[in-house]
Structure 1
Amino acid sequence: MVRVRAWKKLIQRLLHGSVNISHLFYADDAMFIGEWSEQNLHNIVKVLNCFHLASGLKINIAKSQVLGVGVSQNVVVQAANRIGCAVLNTPFRYLGRRKISWVAWDNDHSVQTERWFGVSQVSSALKSCLLTFDVAFSSCLLSNWMFALELDKEIVVANKMGASSVSASFRRDVRDGAERQQWDDLSSILNSVVLSSSKDRWTCDLSGDGEFKVKVIRNFIDDLFLPSSDVETRWVKFIPIKVNVFSWRARRDRLPTRVNLSRRGVLLDSHLCPLCNAAMEDVQHVFFRCDVARVVLRKICRWWDLDWQEICSFSDWDAWFLSFRLSSRLKSILEGVFYVAWWRIWRLRNQLVFDASPPNRSTIFDDIVSWSFLWCSSRCNRVFSWEYWLKNPYLISL
């Protein structure tokens, strides 16, 4: 008797106290309705434990399932783990008959999100206990009692709006109190609704002619998500694709430099350039301002007999490179040499960061000369000699 009284007191405190929980009972099922909160979750478990102490019918929490509607899946999973039950996803089949889904109705021009909590399987008398917690209960009640009052359950919106009154097909009049207030709010919204007499149709207004085109949709998605740049993409056919792609990424600052990694929230021991340890590592520093890069670029200009000037960015390099007067094919080869140089500098940088033993910096320029010759000569229609390539590439006959 003491246990029964304690159980009743706890139920009364939960149902009539500060915690708002309602309930529905069926033949051998029970549904609890209330606000989604940690307090409610634990109190429901406590209530069911008290029920076990009072009746001897124990709930199998391991076979219980938690359902959340309007609640993020992560929150539901965390709650289920703490309680020790599983997660139920919608739509689901209840009592082997029909699938159940939950709908959020639009009330006062804003969707009122509903929050529901779970389905629990219990033993003996309580085979299943549906625990549902609702925050925006008024909007749900509005949809429920309207559907319950409607005589024609299959009526369409056009016929409903075309009638003399929306309530004309109700089986009874709207009652006073909360039901009347909800009905007045709905009526004020419906007063501004105007249905067109034309048939329903699909239109696509992206192109202006109402026609759906895959190309238009693709361009719209690209413009929405892909990064845009005013710099024209440059592609040198005399060097491998991987070097072209690398240069394209470098020009758009898409390389994992230490500055970029820091912007993405990656914790680093240092943000300094691993090549010189003198400045923050961004793409402009690595390929133009770093002492290693400046030495390499000067040697390339001396090799090609070009006037070198201090360059601090890709935009400076573009203006400097466009000022040369060379044949288009020879200028394309020269651009490929710079691409190979940047690619080789970045490779040296990665070797310093990831290799156990320090790389040999003295061979970097020799590697640029040999690799660019191998790649350019194999992709050029005409064969040119290694001697000409070393002495002066201007002597190459293309």
Structure 2
Amino acid sequence: MSIHHTPRSWPIISHNKRLNGTWDKIVKIDKALATYQVSLADSIKGQVGNGSKIRFWLDIWLTEDRLKDQFPTLFTLETAKSCVVADQCIVTNGNYSIKWNWRKQPRSGEAVNELMEFLDLLYYFRFKGGEDKWVWGGEALDSFSVATMKKVLYRVDPPCSKSILEWNSWMPMKVNAIVWRAIQNRLPTYDNLIKRKILFGPDICCNCLAASESVDHIFASCYVASVVWQRIGRWCNIQTFHIKYIQGLFVAVKQVPEMEHKRKMVYSIVMAAIWCLWETQNKFIFENKPVKIDKVLGDIKYLSFLWIKNRANCLNLDWNRWKSIVL
């Protein structure tokens, strides 16, 4: 693992693309499982013993999600992003305390709310002693077996692009086209341009400098995208999107109740968000315009309202209600 790690990023599964071997094959298996909406990394959970091996922000151990995804605002303020649990949770004379490594103190309302929720989660945490352990989360068993993985895969049909993307008449053709190309992984992202030998050099995302710039990263796992989906979930009064791959967005949309056009409205907002995230990425690269999450969200609300109001004749939308709407 150490030879695959780079101090310039903090991926869930470290991978040096220049090195072939067993670990390279394991990473490729994880990418193949993404077709089935199954993540190998998400199926492994840490059980804290002394906290010396489990990463505080990047591994699954306290809840069913990584803390970096559950509390994205706090994660961006953290300077020691790859720290282990023992580095953060300090025991002094039997009393537990948290050692924060803030870039700046959390003062915004969102950061303070996340911090309060975080502290509530950590209140009952205690070290169990001994070595940290990794357990297999699939089928709620501690140990991995091929049979359990087969059961997981057989329960999920591999999503094809036709079943994931439904052409949306409420959205312009250019938006439908961009979303279709994103699902097909045919957008000119850094990783695709390097594969085609059009660009050379590092393919690090220019927004977060944390991972390779790929379709899944830009629209799902990047810090900017994760905050956008979190706020869209609150805005639409639906379960917050916790997704690692772009296909997961459309799987989540299909779980929205089909009533009074709610699902299609959420679907339209998701497509507008993909359009805005892609436009924001390009403006940063080609026009050097800084990324402002509040502006991205404002553009999503405005464009989705404009497109739906003018293309869905059955809806009577009001802007003041729409920008603060809870569907």
TM-score, length of structure 2 as denominator length: 0.48
Select the structure of larger CA radius of gyration: 1
Which fold has the larger relative contact order, with Cα–Cα distance below 8 Å and residues 6 or more apart in sequence? 2
When you count strand as a share of all residues, which structure comes out higher?
1
Give the alignment's TM-score, normalised by structure 1.
0.40
